[in-house]
Structure 1
Amino acid sequence: MEAQEVIITQASYLASAVNPSQYPAVRLPEFVFIGRSNVGKSSLINSLTRVKNLARVSSQPGKTQTINFYELGAKRAGADERKNFYLVDLPGYGYAKTAKGNRKIWAKFIEEYLTTSKELQFVCQLIDIRHAPMASDIDMFRWLVARGIPVLVIATKADKLGKTAREKQVRVIKQALGVPELSVLPYSSLKNEGRSDLLDVLGDALLQ
């Protein structure tokens, strides 16, 4: 039987943190979003939740400097059961204009979160579909895989390319990350393309 469509029932900003004492007290499943600065993370979060300006979209890369927790509810269409979970937005990596000292601090608290969270389900790593993954993208992917953290690669800004170019770039991403069988999900925040696919993945993890 085909699974019913997954619906986001509510979404709200909950907390910002730079150390474990600031993490939400209530434990819920966590789905993490990470990517280079300006990859379109905030736009994707707003598209996924359909809450305008839930995540602040900035033209200035490197704006997110804390771990931001959003509390979301999800259910399958026609079902009563609703599951709450956290969408966790991590600071962008690989942006040169952020002071080196800052980057080291960010790296430490990001690493601490990713390696100690007991509720972490998987990481959505966002990569701009228009370009081959950069060294920082590849390093982050390998770092996550080496620690046994499940990764879903999302190719953002998919509306910027035609179908053939999109397919080619997905192959480029797989090749650069060294995993030919890797699942890459093209996403357009502008057109909400890929939204139902991403919701299905979240629903499969949440709503057994």
Structure 2
Amino acid sequence: MASLWMGDVDENMNESFIMQAFQVMGETALSVKIIRNRFTGALSGYCFVEFPDHAAASRCLVNVNGKLIPSANPPKRFKLKHALYTKPPDPSPPTRNPAAEYMQAFNYYSQQFQHMFSNWKYDQKSGYDSSQQYGYTANNWQAPEVYAEEELEDPSPSVDVNEANKDFMQQSDELYDALICCRWQPLDSVTSKIPTES
């Protein structure tokens, strides 16, 4: 069930009058509850109208809201909104327990990995681990290749940088010429005149 809040309710309106007004507008209300002051009994000026479902309440809000209330004297318009029922806030918000969260995550992942590795077996004859789940056994694993000492190369051989530069400059005449042209010629003394380009 769903409810709408209806405002601008006066003393000339009662529950049956409001239900009949909705019926004339083509909407079926299940019940109406007019709110009064519990001590004085005076009208609070609003009521709650209950509908069979949220779709009916939303349809009524779109079709009826703002239209004239039939037989209302003086003339009034429907003033409708969605009813908001809120509970008071919880005085003590839930506290976080990091240790419990950690243990929950640890237990979850432990179960996952335990299930994954439960199929691995150690074969004492071959000395290899095998998993029946993926079809790996010691028989179909490849043995590591054996290399002679001289076949293995040093992954980081020493490089003579000067030799490499000489080789590169011999292959590139253009680079060599550019380096020779830009070379600074030493002066005879600190007070010597700097030569100009001729």
TM-score, with length taken from structure 2: 0.23
Higher relative strand content: 1
Structure with more relative contact order (C-alpha pairs < 8 Å, separation 6 or more)? 1
Work out which of the two has the higher radius of gyration on C-alpha atoms and give 1 or 2: 2
